[in-house]
Amino acid sequence: MIDNLKKILNEDQDPKAIEKITAKLENLLMSNEEVGYIAVQKKPAVTIFPDSIVVTNKRIILCKPKNLGLSMEFIDYDWGDIAGSFVKEGILGADFTFTTNSDLTHTVDYLPKNQARKLYTYAKEQLDLLKNPKIATPIVEEVKAEAPIETPVVEEVIEEIQAEEVTHFAELMPTPNDVIRDTEVEAPISEEKGLAHLTQDELFAKLQNYKKLLDNGLILQGEYDRLKSEILKFL
């Protein structure tokens, strides 16, 4: 606080007025509260009991002397209650005005222009910090991504089976003997001697056998008719 006061006293401040205010502020400041700036009213005529305004890192404090300077009234507003502030400069000084969220307006006039500007700058900085608080950026450690484990690719071996080429289709076709497994094929008998020794049942069976050969395409129709006529001679 002493360093800030030295800086303030170098800006056309009244040392006696600053001393009175700081003596009162010693019991008003909260823990971790620091005075940022003090502006003291300076009217064109002789100012015996000037008003002053104090800005800290937590609030704005209006200081108004009462009872001929024997006492002082303090009115304070937290920065969260302040809606905005502005400065209006004139010929004989500047007016510092601030408004609250409850639509109250307070003005301290006849401030030296240099002090009013410093007061406005500090107030704006505090309001900006309130609207946009500085957030400490957390340090995030970079996590190295592990290389993916490559899965070995197993190539599927397909064994080719070579098909044998068939050149003789007759080997695949069923033979007449396969079709007629139970049929006993006998050579045609043209001699009448062979038929003469057979019984009628045997001759009839032989005729049926020839008929099967004809149906299966093993003998021609003419051959079948000839054999049939020879058998019928003995029936």
Residue 11 binned pLDDT confidence (cut-offs 50, 70, 90): low
0.85 exceeded by pTM: no
Q: What is the mean pLDDT of residues 184-212?
A: 70
Q: What is the structure's pLDDT at 157?
A: 52
CA–CA separation, 69 and 139 (whole Å): 55
Instruction: Please name the residues in contact with 200: beta carbons below 8 A apart, sequence gap of 6 or more.
Output: 234, 235
Q: What is the mean pLDDT of residues 102-121?
A: 92
CA–CA separation, 53 and 235 (whole Å): 155
pLDDT over 60 at 174, yes or no: no
Residue spans of the domains in the chain: they are 2-131, 169-232
- Max mean pLDDT range (136-145, 174-183, 190-199): 190-199
Query: For 34-46, how does the pLDDT look when each residue is reduced to its tens digit (9 = 90+)?
Result: 999 999 988 887 7
How many CA atoms lie less than 13 Å away from 62 in the CB half-sphere? 14
Average of per-residue pLDDT values in the chain = 77
Express as a percent the part of the chain with pLDDT over 90: 26
2-131: which CATH topology? PH-domain like (2.30.29)
Q: What is the structure's pLDDT at 124?
A: 94
Q: Which residue has the tokens 């050579």?
A: 187
Enter the tokens of residue 39: 């502006």
